[in-house]
Amino acid sequence: MFLLQAAPEGPLAVAGTFASFAIFLSVTAHIAARNVLGDVPIRNAFVVGPVPAAVSVLVATFAAETQLPIFLGVVAAIVLDGVAIRALYDESTRMSAYITFIHVVVSVILGTIVFGVWALAITAPG
């Protein structure tokens, strides 16, 4: 059996959580943008990824202290993700919303796969 940490403790843990989540979201943002728009520069994705990662880490870190509903953090992360996509890829609001939707779907699917493989790996017999 293993434990999952709900919120990182200490500045190094917060920085590591943010960095790894930002890289993951940058990769999934690039996959989503490429899927919808075709050939796009990867540097845009590395600006998009840290935006929802920062919101997520802040909400996870301070939700218990502020009594902030987690759902509002998820909504804020998705909205700011869409704003960043619209600004960086210079697309219409409708197209930016579509790319954001694809980004959410790709992130959930890839996150589920990565978590599943990780969970299987750490619970495998010796």
Q: If you average pLDDT over every residue of the chain, what do you get?
A: 89
DSSP state of 90: T
Contact 26, 20 (CB under 8 A): no
SS3 117: helix
Residue 60 confidence (pLDDT):
82
pLDDT band at 124 (very low <50, low <70, confident <90, very high): confident
Q: How does pLDDT run across 35-74, given as a tens digit for each residue?
A: 999 999 999 999 999 999 999 888 887 777 777 788 888 9
Q: Identify how many contiguous H helices and E strands the chain contains and give both numbers.
A: 5, 0
Indicate if the pLDDT at residue 1 is higher than 80: no
Q: How does pLDDT run across 4-13, given as a tens digit for each residue?
A: 555 557 788 8
pLDDT band at 2 (very low <50, low <70, confident <90, very high): very low
Residue 3 confidence (pLDDT):
47
Residue 71 confidence (pLDDT):
87
Residue 90 burial by Cβ neighbours in a 10 Å radius (0-12, 13-18, 19+): exposed
Angle at the Cα of 66 from the Cα atoms of 62 and 70, rounded to 5 degrees: 70
Residue 8 confidence (pLDDT):
57
